[in-house]
């Protein structure tokens, strides 16, 4: 008759009760949040995002209303702006022919010019910046010229563009290009020059050809700098088109603002400026979002 096997625990060692695996998991795993608590958490998150920007906005509107409520005020208060431009706000899609269009069509025309000029600036700026960043000779040759040209105000290029292109549309696109290209060139060149030397050594060890080096090492390493330049460029492009359209005329948000000034419609100007700010905000955030997706979070928004 065999004796029962004894455990290996010495009398001095404590004994731990053996729980089934399912019970151990039930004890150690965190309890799921009840469904009733999730709407509260979502509401708190939304409030934490929405409420902070609303507070200074409400204060600004209140101060504006108080300062401009008098009959001798130079600017209309917010209540009067809404009353004067209610039709313009509620129906931005009207088109009565010619230049008598809603704000949507003016913004749409301006965005078309901006996207075309900005795309050309992005392509040319990244290419030139890469050349300057890679070549010391190109850096010494082109940097002084670029430093001089980038200090010229955007609107100073407009008369020269009108003389060259004989038309307002390509002239406005050229002004956007010449305004947005410089921050893209500079930031791209800085990003290329700041590539760690270890990355270059790895490329030499792996014997990567120029195309493989550009795709696998150079562009990913310099992408945060490139997208910084792209964000600055899109903001400058939006600033330049509004100013250029005031001079070239035609359908566009800049012409709308100038035409409203000539007609003494101050409330229309204020509404148009609000639209300009909102569109500029979304343009900047769109480029920032693309940068985060492309760089996998390296280029933070």
| Cα 252 from Cα 196, distance rounded (Å) | 45
Distance, CA of 211 to CA of 230 (rounded, Å): 23
Degrees, nearest 5: CA angle 131-214-145: 10
Residue bearing tokens 């639209």 = 275
Which residue, among 181, 172, 146, 182, has the nearest Cα to 240 in the 3D structure?
A: 172
Which of 153, 143, 118 is CA-nearest to residue 231?
118
For the chain, give the number of residues. Answer: 301
Tokens describing residue 192: 């290329």
d(CA 123, CA 120): 5
Q: What does the pLDDT read at residue 24?
A: 47
pLDDT at 179: 93
CB 276 within 8 A of CB 238: yes
Both tokens of residue 140?
């010494």
Q: How many Cβ atoms sit within 10 Å of the Cβ of residue 143?
A: 14
Say whether 190 sits in a helix, a strand or coil.
helix
- Which residues share a beta bridge with 95? 101
Please check whether residue 217 is in contact with residue 145, taking contact to mean a CB–CB distance below 8 angstroms.
no
- What torsion do the CA atoms of 188, 193, 198, 204 make, to the nearest 10 degrees? 90
Distance, CA of 78 to CA of 83 (rounded, Å)? 9
Using DSSP, state whether 144 is helix, strand or coil: helix
The β-bridge partners of 101 are 95
| pLDDT beneath 70, residues of the chain | 1-37, 46, 297-301
Which of 234, 118, 136, 126 minimizes the C-alpha distance to 187? 126
What are the tokens at 213? 């080096």
């Amino acid at each position: 008759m065999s004796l029962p096997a004894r455990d290996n625990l010495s009398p001095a060692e404590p004994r731990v009760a053996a729980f089934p695996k399912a019970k151990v998991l039930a004890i150690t795993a965190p309890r799921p949040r009840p469904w009733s608590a999730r709407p509260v958490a979502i509401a708190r998150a939304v409030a934490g995002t929405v409420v902070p920007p609303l507070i200074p906005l409400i204060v600004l509107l209140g101060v504006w209303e108080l300062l401009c409520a008098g009959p001798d005020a130079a600017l209309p208060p917010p209540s009067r702006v809404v009353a004067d431009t209610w039709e313009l706000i509620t129906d931005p899609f009207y088109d009565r022919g010619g230049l008598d269009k809603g704000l949507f069509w003016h913004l749409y025309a301006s965005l078309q010019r901006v996207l075309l000029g900005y795309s050309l600036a992005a392509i040319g700026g990244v290419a030139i910046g890469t050349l300057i960043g890679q070549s010391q000779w190109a850096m010494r040759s082109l940097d002084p010229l670029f430093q001089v040209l980038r200090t010229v105000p955007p609107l100073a290029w407009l008369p020269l563009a009108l003389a060259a292109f004989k038309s307002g549309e390509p002239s406005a696109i050229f002004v956007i290009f010449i305004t947005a290209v410089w921050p893209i060139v500079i930031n791209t060149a800085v990003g290329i020059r700041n590539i760690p030397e270890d990355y270059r050594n790895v490329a030499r060890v792996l014997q990567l050809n120029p195309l493989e080096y550009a795709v696998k090492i150079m562009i990913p390493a310099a992408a945060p700098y490139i997208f910084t330049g792209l964000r600055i460029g899109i903001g400058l492009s939006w600033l330049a088109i509004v100013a250029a359209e005031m001079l070239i005329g035609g359908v566009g948000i800049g012409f709308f603002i100038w035409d409203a000034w000539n007609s003494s419609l101050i409330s229309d100007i204020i509404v148009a400026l609000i639209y300009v700010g909102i569109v500029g905000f979304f343009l900047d955030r769109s480029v920032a979002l693309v940068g985060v997706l492309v760089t996998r979070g390296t280029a933070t928004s």
